[in-house]
Structure 1
Amino acid sequence: MTYTTPTSESGAADDTMRVSVLHPGGSITEERRPIPAPGPGDVLVQIASVGVCGSDTHYYRHGRIGEFVVDTPLVLGHEASGRIVAVGAGVAEGRVGQRVSIEPQRPDPASAESLRGDYNLSPNLDFFATPPVDGAFAEYVTIGSAFAHAVPDTIGDDAAALLEPLSVAIAALRKARVGLGSAILVAGAGPVGLLCVQVARAAGATVIAVSEPDDARREQARRHGATHVFSPPDRPDPGVPIDAFVDASGVPAAVRSGIDAVRPGGGVVLVGMGADEMTLPVSLIQNRELTLTGVFRYANTWPTAIALVASGAVDLDSLVTGRFGLAEVPAALDSDRVAGSIKVIVRPADRTLRGGTS
């Protein structure tokens, strides 16, 4: 195994790395840990950029998401990119030096779900930054070689990291069966909602309506391809039946309003993380024969995501509103409370960036 040996502040060779660690109770510390060695079939990635996700902020503020509880120290961050610096047994040495986007999961390849292609639903799956599995707010991580996707140099490090939330949007739009001439309604213009807008536009949707209470985010949605934007509870008539509704808000009222808007035989896809339970209009779903489904991460999306960004059909860099060093992770996690913030990036190679966008 070979990689560029990091050095300490004194200039001496160092086999440790810096990591940002969330502790039970919500405190965050910067620590040094050994650089992990790639096992058979793995690659070692030197991390360049990590996007901050709503799940990261939820673990930071609440210590849990459903059954997943931060009861031991945890490294957050699962939207990551970097460069392969070493490979494990069975991986071609030629991969060293490749720039990659990380698909942050390790499914059980022998599970029934993996064998039928739904590896994201594998019951024995390790996912970055989901307790007890550490994530990518670190200088190095290991991942299975097949889940380190090579990216062209036309895709920058930040955009390569954001191929992960783009994959969520691709999975949602596939479930919604959005295509040429479709009319779609999206609730929520946060990062995933805005990416759903861009993917719908790339897929050929001709009506893309977005419900979002924040003025600045509605304008973002319009810039990214929304044909109609409005603030709930308003819902202007786009003039055509809505084929599919995608909820990227997690707000029960938004879900109910969106279901009401869908034509008979249409689809409803729940993406946003919100209430664990909500009341749904069962008779309306039955009478209109609506197809209602959830989305749990993604499977087989990275090639599509890379192609969309490389072709210019989807713009990820425009979503980035701030960048932070590893010592600034608490500020990065709280950036969603700053007006105008859409998506922020942590760059582990830097200690501080002060939230700047340069």
Structure 2
Amino acid sequence: MFEGPHDVRIRMIAVGICGSDVHYLKTMRCADFIVKEPMVIGHECAGIIEEVGSQIQTLVPGDRVAIEPGISCWPCDHCKLGRYNLCPEMKFFATPPVHGSLANQNMAAWLVGLNTLKIQPFNLPSLGPHDIRIRMKAVGICGSDVYYLKTMRCADFKVKEPMVIGHECAGIIEEVGSQVQTLVPGDRVAIEPGISCWRCDHCKLGRYNLCAEMKFFATPPVHGSLANQIVHPADLCFKLPDNVSLEEGAMCEPLSVSVHACRRASIRPETNVLIMGEGPIGLVTMLSARAFGAPRIVVVDVDDHRLSVAKSLGADDIVKVSTNIQDPMISELE
């Protein structure tokens, strides 16, 4: 968090790659400096000031600045004589153990072409009064992400320009809007990935998942959440209990799919259930159906491994079928 009265917070815009960075990358050392633990690289840099400390009078947010990468001690004789470059206590960007400046820029996984992902900058919108800024900690890879990667489309949605992927996610709040009262920085949250219009009949009746104006993460042209940080409405972020991990929080979205399916199917203690397909959604649907009280659950798939996982998670019976519709059933109920 930003604290120092004489400091500025800068969004990096340009960072050069020096020969020393290359040496560290290739050999984990440069001269006598050895990288012994993970280190942020980069020291040739410039950026735009986003916030200034309470005692800063010469710079304001929005100023474009070049950055001197070495912080000297100031009290030693060298510093007092203006030769602070010789300071023995110098802390220089990207010189172990000091981190560098190739940071602060929000990066994301962009789908830019068939089977092509690139890590590129992702500019965040300004924080609205009802929004929160979240640092992503866990993002699942959904089947839709894979479809977009392999075919640049999923159902009727086509990727026509580069898009950030990911929608199953959880993270830690870093900043809240002025009107947010239910969440605070540091809260761990699961994120609902669809933003509805709130005005249509579906939304007013509480069925906002059917909103025709839905803006859903990683559904063209809407960007997703596989990024360092995102900005999202606070009303769509849910604080996680202490006993739920961030990885589990990211799975709340696919879990909601299975819970919705069980509700639609009116699963009750007297309901026997057949599940066709035991991928991740099929498996979580099986677990949800059991939680709803289903006494007998039969699962069907073409893959032995998926069927064995389903069995280990509590399926009562498993059925393997052929991928050829002309073939007879490969196995009977086990």
Question: Residues 189, 134 of structure 1: CA spacing in aligned structure 2 closer, same or farther, 3 A cutoff?
Answer: same
Q: Find the aligned partners of 1:187 and 1:215 in 2 and give their Cα distance.
A: 14
User: What is the aligned counterpart of 1:109 among 166, 191, 198?
Assistant: 198
After superposition, the C-alpha distances for 1:16-43 in whole angstroms (9 at most, x for unaligned) are 2111111144422111233443223111
1:16–1:35 Cα contact (<8 Å) kept: no
Q: In the alignment, is the contact (CA less than 8 A) between 2:297 and 2:316 conserved in 1? A: yes
- Bigger CA drift: 85-94 or 52-61? 85-94
Q: Using CA pairs under 8 Å that are at least 6 residues apart, name the structure with larger relative contact order, 1 or 2.
A: 1
- Stretches of structure 2 that go unaligned for 5 or more consecutive residues are 4-8, 13-39, 43-99, 330-334
Q: How does 1:30-69 map to 2 (within 5 A)?
A: 30-69=119-158
Give 3-state SS (helix, strand or coil) of 1:100's partner. Answer: strand
Aligned to 2:209: 120
**What is the aligned residue count?**
237
How far apart are the structure 2 equivalents of 1:25 and 1:54? 15
Taking the aligned partners of 1:149 and 1:5, their CA distance within structure 2 comes to 30
CA distance in structure 2 between the partners assigned to 1:113 and 1:2 by the alignment: 42
Pair 158,43 (structure 1): closer, same or farther in 2 beyond 3 Å: same
Give 1:194's aligned residue.
283
Question: Unaligned regions of 5+ residues in structure 1, if any?
Answer: 234-250, 258-358
Q: Which sits farther off after the overlay, 107-116 or 217-226?
A: 217-226
- Specify whether residues 232 and 126 from structure 1 end up closer, same or farther in structure 2 by C-alpha distance, changes over 3 A only: same
1:144 shift after superposition: 1.1
How high is the sequence identity, in percent, across the aligned residues? Answer: 32
Residues 106-146 of structure 1 show CA distances to partners (whole Å, capped at 9, x for unaligned) of: 00101111111110110111000000111011001111111
Instruction: Tell me, yes or no, if the aligned pair for 1:15 and 1:35 is still in contact at 8 Å.
Output: no
Say which of 222, 236, 252 aligns to 1:147: 236
Secondary structure at the aligned position of 1:30 is classed as strand
Q: Is the 8 A contact 2:183 2:234 kept in 1?
A: no
Larger helix proportion of the pair: 1
- Of 293, 296, 301, the match for 1:212: 301
1:99 paired with 2:188, answer yes
Q: 1:1-358 maps to which residues of 2 (within 5 A)?
A: 9-10=41-42, 11-12=100-101, 14-92=103-181, 94-232=183-321
TM-score (norm 1): 0.62
For normalisation by structure 2, the TM-score amounts to 0.66
Using the alignment, how far apart are the partners of 2:200 and 2:266 within structure 1?
A: 27
The one-letter code sitting in structure 2 at the alignment partner of 1:190 is: G
Whether the 8 Å CA contact 2:113–2:149 is kept in 1: the answer is no
Q: Which amino acid aligns with 1:39?
A: G
Q: Which amino acid aligns with 1:167?
A: S
Distance in 1, matches of 2:319 and 2:171, equals 38
